[in-house]
Amino acid sequence: MSRAEFRRWRLAAGLLLAVVLCAPEAGRASDIPDTDFAQVNDAVLAGAISNGFFYLGGAFTTVNGSSFPRLAKIILAQDQPVATWAPQVDATVRALAVSTNGATLYVGGDFTLIGAIARGRLAALSVANGAVIPTWNANGEGDANGSVRALALSPDGRTLYIGGDFTAVGGVARNHIASINTTTGAVLPWDPGADGVVRALDLSADGATLYAGGDFAAIGGQPRQGLAALRTVNGKATGWNPAPLDGVIHALALADATLYAGGDFGQAGGAARNNLAAFDTGVDDDMALAWNPDVDGPVHALTLSADGARLYAGGGFTSVNGVVARNRIAGFRTDTADADVIAWDPGSDSAITSVDFLATSVDDATLYTGGDFTRIGATNLTGIAAFGIASPLTTVSPEGGGYQSLSQVTLTCTDQSGAGCVGIYYSTDDSEPVSYTEPVDVTIIGDTTLRYFSEDADGNREAMKTAVYAIDTSAPVTLKSLPGALYGSADIEDVELGCTDDHLALGCATYYTLDGTEPTTASTLYSEAISLAGLFPPADIDPEEVDPLLHLAGTVTLKYFSRDDAGNQEAVQTVLYQIDLSGPAVSASHASGNYAAPIAVTLSCNDGVGSGCVDMYYTLDDSAPSDGNITDEAGNVIPRTTRYTAPIPVSAGSVLRVLALDVAGNQTSGIVGIYSFTSDTGADRNSVGGMDFVLLLMLLAMASARCFRKERVMGDG
């Protein structure tokens, strides 16, 4: 967005939705550094933040007056160094990176010794104690033969990319760029081969592309002037070629598809760009973007705020935007084509030679600045400074959501850096954000999307926030998956409740009871399907009952309603479920045994508290009874057997099997009687009628465990 567009943005008229309260807090301006932060005696050139610690590297030899040659570990919560963590590096540290698991610190620079251990310009240290990891030593042949100036770690943590002045690493020829196995320290085959110094590296989020900047004219097998995109799979340069034709790249910062490049150049991507430019990383979009900060001197360091709204630059410049004085350090808005410099200006009263390192804290509240200076932000500090840069915080009351009516929304700005809030900007739905100065009450009608942000006096601008308001007077509707009816064990299902509201911006919740009481918002909140069968657990049955499964029946009264975010509440709905999960029990008028004369067996069906008996079918030859819907183990339908309608005459040896069905469709099948007759004793014992008394007793013993047992019939019981 251009300056003119931003001015129109601020002046545009629109529906005034909110009352805005701007509440600056008292405190120091954010361009005054924190004097409590750790202090060093020389330049800081590198840093890495991990797990509450800040690792510093550079040319310094002391921190807070104690000896920490060129490398130290700062406890951020205390702004003090860890006294026992002092690796003793013999020359300048220029690059740092922490492993993805937080256990290892990778160090690059000019050194050849760390403590008493030889390490040629590249090393891996234990984060825990600062000791050199002995097994990590680039093929065991002494690491790089020239300075290491840049490090980049792959997203999976397995590969460390290095750039610098070297022409060999671990005895393997590698011109200015290489990759290292982070587990073993071995040099990997990946070899783009630059013909000049590589000074900056940055990886795409997916780890597929490595952006390299420096002094080179060729890299990855292609002519590339100072800036290139390399495939991490093979080291070849991609087709992307912005070509800063007349200079050097010192720093890179990647934000999604935009790459910011700083250095010492006057042309980039086919356009005039002084020392700082932005590029689209698409292969076909290698021209410089319209974003143009126009910096009058070299840029050595870049870092982005976490929300990407600001880019901080450090270097050797004295002005930006063509005419705005900025001494070696500046912050730019990234959302305007003119790259407007923000008001923040810590270099105005400073003897700064150069700013060479920048990093923001994890919470985006602090900017760490390192370089060659002895005074910054009107404060005498050497080499390192920490600035509060937190964006202002805007709160909205009431919060977005559903309301039956709403007359006013209040926005409040809270300063977090000490610079003071200067304004809040807002829009409704798709209108442009505007500023306002007078509180006005406005009724919101229908659904409204409020977009808003605040800005402080230093130009720190909050990322755009959104609150969605839905004015709703209609109650939600709850749908059930199972209608009220009689259900048996074969067709019972869990009950699902689904709440719908006519406003997509709103949510709704469903509450229910299962005991017939009226539900309230204190009742059970529906979160998963309701198991009706689970309300009749066998564990509750008295084991002394003749047939405990007869208790698996009853009535469930489900009552429920839904309520939406606006407070609209549905009328209570009631559904009755008749549940019968067990088959009936069958008894015979004549017990199993030996009889002297023919008998007539009367069958009785008892469904207990269930749905009631409906039919019985029987056989006398020990075969499976069937109603014509029963299948055997092979899946074949068993033909319908005799339906019980009157007492069954029995005059010869028989095994009486009965299938009983209740109204809910539950089925029970089993032996209810084994009969023999005195007149049978002389007959063929291979027939049912020829069984003797001993065999009858054996059959009775076997049948005792089966009689009156209910089961859902899938074949012969």
**Which residue among 471, 497, 532 closes a domain?**
471
Note whether 106 and 90 are within 8 A (CB).
Answer: no
Looking at the structure, do residues 460 and 533 belong to the same domain, yes or no? no
Looking at the structure, do residues 507 and 547 belong to the same domain, yes or no? yes
Read off the CATH number of the domain in which 462 is found.
2.60.40
Amino acid at 644: Y
pLDDT for res 372 = 92
Residues 280-295 pLDDT 10s: 998 777 788 999 999 9
pLDDT for res 642 = 96
Is 627 part of any domain? yes
Looking at the structure, do residues 682 and 647 belong to the same domain, yes or no? yes
Neighbour-count burial of 318, counting CB atoms closer than 10 A to its CB (0-12 exposed, 13-18 middle, 19+ buried): middle
Reported confidence tier of residue 613, pLDDT bands at 50, 70, 90: very high
Residue 558: both structure tokens together: 């489900």
Tell me how far apart the terminal alpha carbons of the chain are, to the nearest angstrom. Answer: 81
- The secondary structure element, H or E, covering residue 599 is strand 599-601
Looking at the structure, do residues 559 and 603 belong to the same domain, yes or no? no
- For 238-255, b/e burial (b = at least 16 CB within 10 A) is bebbbbbeebbbbbbbbb
**Which residue among 580, 609, 637 closes a domain?**
580
Looking at the structure, do residues 624 and 684 belong to the same domain, yes or no? yes
Looking at the structure, do residues 590 and 654 belong to the same domain, yes or no? yes
What is d(CA 639, CA 574) in angstroms, rounded to the nearest whole number? 43
Owning domain of residue 456: 3-25+393-471
Can you tell me the mean pLDDT for 126-147? 86
Residues 627-671 pLDDT 10s: 999 998 888 999 999 999 999 999 999 999 999 999 999 999 999
Q: Helix H segments across 352-402?
A: none
Reported confidence tier of residue 22, pLDDT bands at 50, 70, 90: very low
Q: How many domains does the chain have?
A: 3
Residues 457-498 pLDDT 10s: 888 888 888 888 888 888 999 999 999 999 998 999 999 999
Looking at the structure, do residues 498 and 413 belong to the same domain, yes or no? no
Beta strands in 307-430 (DSSP E): 310-315, 319-320, 324-325, 329-333, 352-360, 366-373, 384-388, 393-397, 401-403, 409-414, 421-428
Is 193 part of any domain? no
Looking at the structure, do residues 575 and 678 belong to the same domain, yes or no? no
Note whether 275 and 315 are within 8 A (CB).
Answer: yes
Task: List beta partners, residue 231.
Answer: 209
Is 72 part of any domain? no
Is 364 part of any domain? no
**Which residue among 456, 471, 486 closes a domain?**
471
What is d(CA 294, CA 304) in angstroms, rounded to the nearest whole number? 18
Is 398 part of any domain? yes
Can you tell me the mean pLDDT for 61-84? 95
pLDDT for res 432 = 77
Reported confidence tier of residue 28, pLDDT bands at 50, 70, 90: very low
Total count of residues recorded for the chain: 717
Looking at the structure, do residues 614 and 658 belong to the same domain, yes or no? yes
Looking at the structure, do residues 606 and 680 belong to the same domain, yes or no? yes
Residues 511-526 pLDDT 10s: 999 999 999 999 999 9
Is 508 part of any domain? yes
β-pairing verdict for 667-677 and 593-595: parallel
What is d(CA 63, CA 609) in angstroms, rounded to the nearest whole number? 85
What is 56-106 written as a DSSP string? EEES--EETTEE--SEEEEETTTTEE-TT----BSS-EEEEEE-TTS-EEE
Note whether 681 and 692 are within 8 A (CB).
Answer: yes
Of 51, 50, 52, 62, nearest in space to 88 by CA: 62
- pTM reported for the whole predicted model: 0.68
Looking at the structure, do residues 488 and 564 belong to the same domain, yes or no? yes
Is 36 part of any domain? no
Is 20 part of any domain? yes
